A = this chain, B = another copy of it.
């Protein structure tokens, strides 16, 4: 009958604490997994090895990730969270809307080069073998994050419409444009290494390719100012400085 506020608050506090600690450990496990991936490659990442590297037992690890593939998906979720941070910074770039669109592409490119392992996780996580064995909750997490990222892109396009930098003629929706930007960025960044490895282009920097691709698309769309009327090369470098100086301290 008596009120029990202390008990409740303590319980709440403890369970919060529990959750927080569990979260922290999961983060640590992801960090270790990433490290193993870098050192031993994807073929070298085994649950036993992760167990050995960590301070907990295998059972506990399986308490976090329902399968090895779920671990990969978790790494991709981590990737997307970092991308989100970069995108937020990119959105704060000043100037006209197309500069901000460029900033988003730069953020994507930056992530793909500074965290190549995580970027590859993103690719692997798109693979059916991984999707099939990942937990529903984690797949939902990934989906939610991707939607957020695409939301940022849509935001910039809406800005462009608002300032009359583009006009959507011919049944071309915002979603469609967003998707095509995404596809372009994904393709240009994901295929760079394979293409380079097969000696397709020598000494052609990924940066230049990505920038050229974006300009091609945005010019085709008629997003003003066109690349003929504006120096997007130096704009790109300005963005690079703005984003890179904040990147290093990322890690929590």
What is the CB-to-nearest-CB distance from A121 to chain B, in angstroms, rounded to a whole number? 9
A147 touches which of B184, B200, B208 (Cβ 8 Å)? B200
Contact indicator B42/A198 (Cβ below 8 Å): no
A209 touches which of B180, B194, B218 (Cβ 8 Å)? B180
Q: List the B residue with the shortest CB-CB distance to A204.
A: B176
Q: What chain B residues lie within 8 Å of A182 (beta carbons)?
A: 187, 191, 195
Copy number in this complex? 2
Most buried by B among A176, A182, A204: A176
A220 at the interface (CB under 8 A from B): yes
How long is the Cα–Cα vector from A201 to B171 in the complex, in angstroms?
13
Contact indicator B180/A201 (Cβ below 8 Å): no
The B-contacting residues of A in range 82-126, CB under 8 angstroms, are 120, 123-124, 126
How long is the Cα–Cα vector from A127 to B218 in the complex, in angstroms?
30
Binds B, one of A28-36, A128-136, A235-243: A128-136
The B-contacting residues of A in range 155-194, CB under 8 angstroms, are 172-173, 175-176, 179-180, 182-188, 190-191, 194
A17 at the interface (CB under 8 A from B): no
Contact indicator A200/B179 (Cβ below 8 Å): yes
Contact indicator B200/A213 (Cβ below 8 Å): no
Contact indicator B213/A133 (Cβ below 8 Å): no
Judged by DSSP, the binding face of A is helix
A3 at the interface (CB under 8 A from B): no
What is the CB-to-nearest-CB distance from A70 to chain B, in angstroms, rounded to a whole number? 12
A52 at the interface (CB under 8 A from B): no
How long is the Cα–Cα vector from A217 to B123 in the complex, in angstroms?
24
A215 at the interface (CB under 8 A from B): yes
* Seed contacts A43-B132, A175-B201, A179-B195; 6 additional CB < 8 Å A-B pairs: A43-B129, A124-B127, A143-B198, A217-B217, A219-B219, A220-B221
Q: Please list 23 pairs of residues, one from A and one from B, whose beta carbons are closer than 8 Å in the complex, sorted by A's number.
A: A42-B132, A43-B129, A120-B128, A123-B127, A126-B190, A126-B194, A127-B127, A143-B198, A175-B201, A176-B204, A176-B212, A179-B195, A179-B200, A179-B201, A180-B209, A180-B212, A182-B191, A184-B213, A186-B187, A187-B187, A217-B220, A218-B220, A220-B220
User: Chain A interface (Cβ within 8 Å of chain B)?
Assistant: 41-43, 120, 123-124, 126-129, 132-133, 143, 146-147, 150, 172-173, 175-176, 179-180, 182-188, 190-191, 194-195, 197-198, 200-201, 204, 208-209, 212-213, 215-221
